[in-house]
Structure 1
Amino acid sequence: MSDSIIKDATSKMQKAVDSLTRELASIRTGAANASLLDRVNVDYYGAPTPVNQLATVSVPEARMLTVTPYDKSSVDDVLKAIQQADLGVNPTSDGTMIRITVPQLTEERRKEFTKDARKIGETAKVSVRNVRRDANDDLKKLQKNGEISEDELRGYSDDVQSLTDKFIKEIDTLCDKKEQDIMSV
């Protein structure tokens, strides 16, 4: 029973790190990145649909993205959705393809993005700590019910803490790497 609590905690902590990775990918750095459009949804036949499901997103140059919708009649809808997403880019269309030139980031904007990355990292750390708290509570219930001894509780609690430390370190590493990407000119 207690092993399943540890496995469950590991799984939930990994999901927090995976979510962090996705969110950090959507923060813009100086270079073009296809994941910049991950959060953009297009109203396609009445349903909000992610851009990457409606079009091919590619990076032909370091500072340019191209979006080629599969359905040529949806080019204007995709263009409008990108403009409304407030990504700090100005897309242009030639009728079949959308070109997005990613501008250089100013120092002030880089610092803003760095703060955003730190905030997202802090949220992920809080999620991991909440998982730790829940796992420890579950282990204490097992000990209270007599299913595990006090020594086993201490051992399992140490395991949960080492898991927490491992995931917090991984979160810090991901945030530091993203910060370096943002601040590099």
Structure 2
Amino acid sequence: MKLSEVQDNMQKTIESTQRSFNTIRTGRANSALLDRVMVDYYGTETPLKSLANITTPDATTIAIQPYDRGSMGQIEKAIQLSDIGLTPNNDGQMIRLNIPPLTTERRKELVKLAGKLAEEGKVAIRNIRRDAIDSVRKQEKNHELSEDESRNLQDEIQKVTDEYTAKIDELLAAKEKDISTV
């Protein structure tokens, strides 16, 4: 496994972690909150964003305007069943989600959730490191690399791992600050 492959895989993990963070509610309206909401649309699980226009008219409201008004009931039901903790208001034309201010208790829960997501990202990065180091050791064992080359590559992989782990820590710190800001 080449160092560039390791970096690419770790970068993908960072991006995945960032996407996960975007789905955590922070007290401000953000259409990314609905990214994971799947709607049972004529028997098929469909992402909400492909069934409706999602906008944020102000800092505390998300407006969902379905392309097909017949799907409003399913969209409303999917939002209620999702883990975002918001109650949809359906006026027949569009669905509105009012984002209430977060309580201190809820903020703490969200910080814990962010920490859990960050830890999952770090585990994924460590798994990439483990696979890369195993690959290097295998090459050394097969005499494709010398001991020195193997050691240098392993050190490089560890440096890259530390760098990407630090990036996840930075993302987590920023998200915690975002959640904690009233």
Normalization by structure 2: what TM-score? Answer: 0.97
Is the Cα contact below 8 Å between 1:5 and 1:138 reproduced in 2? no
Q: Is the partner of 1:57 in helix, strand or coil?
A: strand
Coordinate RMSD, CA, aligned: 0.9
Q: Which residue of 1 aligns with 2:71?
A: 74
Paired residue for 1:136, among 133, 152, 156? 133
Q: Deviation string for 1:76-98 (max 9, x for gaps)?
A: 11111111113221111111200
Q: Which residue of 2 aligns with 1:116?
A: 113
Paired residue for 2:142, among 137, 142, 145? 145
Q: Deviation string for 1:17-63 (max 9, x for gaps)?
A: 11111111111101111011111100011100010010011100000
Is 1:16 aligned to residue 13 of structure 2? Answer: yes
Give the partner amino acid of 2:75.
V
Q: How does 1:52-71 map to 2 (within 5 A)?
A: 52-71=49-68
**How far apart, in 2, do the equivalents of 1:123 and 1:84 lie?**
24
Is the Cα contact below 8 Å between 1:125 and 1:168 reproduced in 2? yes
Question: Gapped runs of 5+ residues in structure 2?
Answer: none
Give the partner amino acid of 2:45.
P
**How far apart, in 2, do the equivalents of 1:72 and 1:89 lie?**
21
Question: How far did residue 5 of structure 1 move?
Answer: 2.5
Q: Deviation string for 1:141-162 (max 9, x for gaps)?
A: 1011111111111111111011
Question: Gapped runs of 5+ residues in structure 1?
Answer: none
Is the Cα contact below 8 Å between 1:124 and 1:171 reproduced in 2? yes
Paired residue for 1:29, among 18, 22, 26? 26
Total equivalences in the alignment: 182
Q: Is the partner of 2:2 in helix, strand or coil?
A: helix
Q: Which residue of 2 aligns with 1:100?
A: 97
Q: Which residue of 2 aligns with 1:161?
A: 158
Q: Which residue of 1 aligns with 2:123?
A: 126
Is 1:6 aligned to residue 6 of structure 2? Answer: no
**How far apart, in 2, do the equivalents of 1:54 and 1:19 lie?**
23
Q: Deviation string for 1:104-151 (max 9, x for gaps)?
A: 110000000000100110111111011111101100110111111111
- State percent identity of aligned pairs: 47
* Cα separation, partners in 2 of 1:155 and 1:64, compared to 1, 3 Å: same
Q: Which residue of 2 aligns with 1:180?
A: 177
**How far apart, in 2, do the equivalents of 1:31 and 1:118 lie?**
20
**How far apart, in 2, do the equivalents of 1:77 and 1:119 lie?**
30
